[in-house]
Amino acid sequence: MAEHSGKDVLSSDVEIKGTIKFQKELLIDGKVEGEINSDGALTVGENADIRAEIKTKSITIYGKVQGNITVSERCELKSKCTLQGDLKAARLIIEEGATFIGKSEVSSGMSVKAASSGSRPEVVRHEESAKPAFAARG
Protein backbone atom coordinates (compact mmCIF):
# COMPACT_ATOMS: atom_id res chain seq x y z
CA MET A 1 0.00 0.00 0.00
CA ALA A 2 2.94 2.31 -0.63
CA GLU A 3 1.97 4.14 -3.83
CA HIS A 4 -1.51 5.68 -4.15
CA SER A 5 -1.24 7.54 -7.46
CA GLY A 6 -4.52 9.10 -8.58
CA LYS A 7 -6.44 8.22 -5.40
CA ASP A 8 -7.80 10.65 -2.86
CA VAL A 9 -6.64 9.60 0.61
CA LEU A 10 -8.16 9.98 4.08
CA SER A 11 -5.17 9.07 6.24
CA SER A 12 -5.17 7.11 9.51
CA ASP A 13 -5.38 10.25 11.71
CA VAL A 14 -8.68 11.38 10.10
CA GLU A 15 -12.07 10.82 11.79
CA ILE A 16 -15.31 11.61 9.96
CA LYS A 17 -18.95 11.40 11.03
CA GLY A 18 -21.46 11.94 8.27
CA THR A 19 -21.80 11.22 4.56
CA ILE A 20 -18.87 10.81 2.17
CA LYS A 21 -19.43 11.16 -1.58
CA PHE A 22 -16.67 10.87 -4.19
CA GLN A 23 -16.37 10.36 -7.94
CA LYS A 24 -13.35 8.23 -8.90
CA GLU A 25 -11.11 6.55 -6.30
CA LEU A 26 -10.82 6.97 -2.55
CA LEU A 27 -8.57 5.32 0.02
CA ILE A 28 -9.83 5.52 3.60
CA ASP A 29 -7.31 4.61 6.28
CA GLY A 30 -8.98 6.43 9.19
CA LYS A 31 -12.29 6.25 11.08
CA VAL A 32 -15.61 6.86 9.36
CA GLU A 33 -19.11 6.69 10.84
CA GLY A 34 -22.17 7.30 8.64
CA GLU A 35 -22.61 6.69 4.91
CA ILE A 36 -20.32 6.31 1.91
CA ASN A 37 -21.85 6.74 -1.56
CA SER A 38 -20.05 6.68 -4.89
CA ASP A 39 -19.93 5.46 -8.47
CA GLY A 40 -16.19 4.97 -8.02
CA ALA A 41 -13.75 2.57 -6.36
CA LEU A 42 -13.28 2.54 -2.58
CA THR A 43 -10.26 1.07 -0.83
CA VAL A 44 -10.47 0.49 2.92
CA GLY A 45 -6.92 0.64 4.29
CA GLU A 46 -5.32 -1.59 6.93
CA ASN A 47 -5.77 1.01 9.70
CA ALA A 48 -9.37 1.87 8.76
CA ASP A 49 -12.31 1.42 11.13
CA ILE A 50 -15.53 2.07 9.23
CA ARG A 51 -19.04 1.92 10.66
CA ALA A 52 -21.16 2.88 7.69
CA GLU A 53 -23.62 1.88 5.01
CA ILE A 54 -21.56 1.69 1.82
CA LYS A 55 -22.88 1.95 -1.75
CA THR A 56 -20.20 2.08 -4.43
CA LYS A 57 -19.10 0.60 -7.76
CA SER A 58 -16.28 -1.49 -6.29
CA ILE A 59 -14.59 -1.95 -2.92
CA THR A 60 -11.36 -3.52 -1.69
CA ILE A 61 -11.16 -4.05 2.08
CA TYR A 62 -7.90 -4.40 4.03
CA GLY A 63 -9.18 -3.07 7.39
CA LYS A 64 -12.40 -3.21 9.46
CA VAL A 65 -15.89 -2.49 8.17
CA GLN A 66 -19.10 -2.73 10.17
CA GLY A 67 -22.20 -2.10 8.07
CA ASN A 68 -23.97 -3.21 4.94
CA ILE A 69 -22.22 -2.96 1.58
CA THR A 70 -23.82 -2.76 -1.86
CA VAL A 71 -21.50 -2.71 -4.87
CA SER A 72 -22.53 -2.74 -8.52
CA GLU A 73 -19.38 -4.53 -9.66
CA ARG A 74 -16.67 -6.06 -7.46
CA CYS A 75 -16.00 -6.62 -3.76
CA GLU A 76 -12.63 -7.92 -2.60
CA LEU A 77 -12.00 -8.99 1.01
CA LYS A 78 -8.24 -9.11 1.69
CA SER A 79 -6.57 -11.63 4.02
CA LYS A 80 -6.54 -9.60 7.28
CA CYS A 81 -9.79 -7.67 6.87
CA THR A 82 -12.96 -7.91 8.96
CA LEU A 83 -16.42 -7.31 7.49
CA GLN A 84 -19.44 -7.43 9.77
CA GLY A 85 -22.60 -6.80 7.75
CA ASP A 86 -24.55 -7.91 4.73
CA LEU A 87 -23.06 -7.73 1.28
CA LYS A 88 -24.56 -7.44 -2.23
CA ALA A 89 -22.18 -7.58 -5.18
CA ALA A 90 -21.88 -8.75 -8.77
CA ARG A 91 -18.50 -10.38 -8.03
CA LEU A 92 -17.00 -11.37 -4.69
CA ILE A 93 -13.39 -12.32 -3.96
CA ILE A 94 -12.50 -13.50 -0.45
CA GLU A 95 -8.86 -14.21 0.39
CA GLU A 96 -7.87 -16.83 2.93
CA GLY A 97 -7.72 -15.29 6.40
CA ALA A 98 -10.46 -12.71 5.82
CA THR A 99 -13.26 -12.51 8.42
CA PHE A 100 -16.80 -12.07 7.07
CA ILE A 101 -19.80 -12.13 9.41
CA GLY A 102 -23.08 -11.60 7.59
CA LYS A 103 -25.05 -12.60 4.52
CA SER A 104 -23.87 -12.28 0.95
CA GLU A 105 -25.85 -11.99 -2.25
CA VAL A 106 -23.78 -12.40 -5.38
CA SER A 107 -25.53 -11.97 -8.72
CA SER A 108 -23.07 -12.51 -11.53
CA GLY A 109 -23.93 -9.87 -14.07
CA MET A 110 -27.68 -10.34 -13.65
CA SER A 111 -29.64 -7.31 -12.56
CA VAL A 112 -31.64 -7.61 -9.35
CA LYS A 113 -34.85 -6.91 -11.31
CA ALA A 114 -34.25 -9.86 -13.63
CA ALA A 115 -33.53 -12.16 -10.70
CA SER A 116 -36.73 -11.23 -8.86
CA SER A 117 -39.10 -11.05 -11.85
CA GLY A 118 -40.58 -14.45 -11.04
CA SER A 119 -39.04 -16.32 -13.96
CA ARG A 120 -37.75 -19.63 -12.65
CA PRO A 121 -35.67 -22.22 -14.44
CA GLU A 122 -37.72 -25.01 -15.94
CA VAL A 123 -37.34 -28.37 -14.21
CA VAL A 124 -37.42 -31.33 -16.58
CA ARG A 125 -37.98 -34.79 -15.16
CA HIS A 126 -37.40 -37.94 -17.18
CA GLU A 127 -39.70 -40.36 -15.36
CA GLU A 128 -39.66 -42.92 -18.18
CA SER A 129 -35.94 -43.58 -17.75
CA ALA A 130 -36.34 -43.98 -13.96
CA LYS A 131 -39.08 -46.66 -14.09
CA PRO A 132 -37.06 -49.44 -15.80
CA ALA A 133 -34.28 -49.01 -13.22
CA PHE A 134 -36.70 -49.72 -10.37
CA ALA A 135 -38.34 -52.59 -12.24
CA ALA A 136 -34.98 -54.30 -12.78
CA ARG A 137 -34.29 -54.34 -9.04
CA GLY A 138 -37.60 -55.91 -8.11
Which letter does DSSP use for residue 121 in this model? P
pLDDT attached to residue 109: 56
Query: For residue 110, what pLDDT is reported?
Result: 46
pLDDT value of position 107: 86
The pLDDT score that the predictor gives to residue 5 is: 55
pLDDT at residue number 102: 95
Q: For residue 74, report the phi and psi dihedrals to the nearest 5 degrees.
A: -130, 140
Q: Would you list the domain boundaries of the chain?
A: 8-103
Given a cut of 50, the residues of the chain with pLDDT beneath it are 1-2, 4, 110-120, 126-132, 134, 138
Q: For residues 21, 44, 103 and 68, what is the CA-based torsion angle, rounded to 10 degrees?
A: -30
